[in-house]
């Protein structure tokens, strides 16, 4: 395989993403967990940039790295009971989930190596924000509008759940 700048960048970014995810699981301090998750989000945004999906990358940084990570840290700060989480000692659960994930990983890798993808590699240069806009307000207009109702419902729901019950 030819080593290009793109390959090196992809390599570094994916290592960062995987490390962030692994540390997120194994850290016991909630704040550390939040920060390592932000690392994963950020590296995934980098991978989107490599794929020429600029818009998606910016959204990823704004929504996930920015909003969700910060929100989580705020949530931790406001509700903090104990900074470190006690380690659960459940060897059977642990073993089973690692075995399950391992089997899934191995089988997916093997299967995807065996599969041939019929469609040719697409040139991603033309897929900018204009194309996304066209799709949103053209072909996918109905799901797009439906998503607005979905957001409305989520808004109503979060208000109901979060609202403080007053005395009546």
Partner 1 sequence: MMNKVFEQIEWSLLTPETTIIAGIVLLLLTDLVLPASISRRWFGFIGLASILGSLAFVVSQLPLKPAEILFGTYRLDPMSLVFKLLFLTATALILLVAMDRKKGDKTDRYIAEEYILMLSALLGAMFLASSVDVITLFIGLELLSISSYILVGMRKHERLSTEAGWKYVIYGGVSSAFFLYGYSFLYGLSGTTNLFTLGQSLAEVVQSTQSDLFIVASLCLMLVGFAFKISLAPFHMWAPDVYQGASSPVASFLAVVSKAAGILFLIRFLLIGMYPLLRSEVWGENIMWALAILAAVSMIVGNTVALRQQNVKRILAYSGIAQAGYLFIIFPSLQSNLIFVSVGFYLVVYMLMTIGAFAIVHVVSKDTGNEELTSFDGLVRRSPGLAIAMTLFLFSLAGIPLTAGFIGKVNLSLNTFASGQMWLLISTLLVTTVISYYYYFRIVQRMFVEKATSDQKVPISFFSALTILVVVLGTIGFGIMPDLLLSKLETVKWGYGLIPLEGIQQLKN
Which residues sit at the interface with partner 1, rule CB under 8 A? 107-108, 111-112, 114-119, 122, 138-143, 146-147, 149-150, 152-154, 156-157, 160-161, 165
Nearer to partner 1, 99 or 154 (CB): 154
DSSP letter string over 83-152? SBPPPP--HHHHHHHHHHHHHHHHHHHHHHHH----SPPPPGGG-SHHHHHHHHHTTTHHHHHHHHHHHH
Q: Which residue has the tokens 């993808």?
A: 117
Secondary structure tally for the chain: helices H, strands E: 7, 0
Which pair of tokens denotes residue 106?
């191995």
Instruction: Give least dist CB 126 to partner 1, A.
Output: 15
Comparing CB distances to partner 1, the nearer of 98 and 156 is 156
Smallest separation (angstroms) from partner 1 to the CB of 150: 5
Cβ proximity to partner 1, 92 vs 115, nearer residue: 115
CB of 166 to partner 1, least distance (A): 10
The residue (of 67 and 156) whose beta carbon lies closer to partner 1 is 156
Element (H, E) at 66: none
Of 8 and 18, the one with the shorter C-beta distance to partner 1 is 18
CB of 149 to partner 1, least distance (A): 6
Report how far residue 65's alpha carbon sits from residue 45's, in angstroms, rounded to the nearest whole number.
Answer: 9
Q: Is 60 exposed, middle or buried (0-12, 13-18, 19+ CB in 10 A)?
A: buried
What is the nearest approach in angstroms of partner 1 to the Cβ of residue 144?
9
């Amino acid at each position: 395989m030819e080593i290009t700048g793109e390959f090196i960048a992809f390599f570094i970014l994916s290592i960062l993403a995987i490390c962030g995810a692994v540390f997120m699981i194994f850290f016991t301090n909630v704040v550390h967990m939040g920060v390592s998750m932000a690392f994963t989000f950020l590296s995934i945004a980098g991978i989107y940039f490599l794929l020429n999906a600029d818009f998606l990358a910016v959204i990823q940084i704004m929504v996930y790295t920015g909003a969700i990570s910060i929100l989580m840290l705020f949530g931790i700060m406001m509700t903090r009971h104990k900074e470190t989480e006690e380690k659960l000692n459940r060897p059977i659960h642990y073993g089973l989930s690692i075995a399950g994930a391992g089997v899934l990983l191995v089988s997916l890798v093997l299967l995807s190596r065996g599969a041939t993808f019929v469609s040719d590699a697409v040139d991603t240069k033309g897929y900018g924000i204009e194309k996304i806009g066209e799709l949103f307000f053209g072909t996918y207009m109905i799901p797009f509008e439906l998503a607005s109702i979905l957001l409305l419902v989520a808004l109503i729901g979060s208000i109901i759940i979060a609202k403080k019950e007053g005395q009546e």
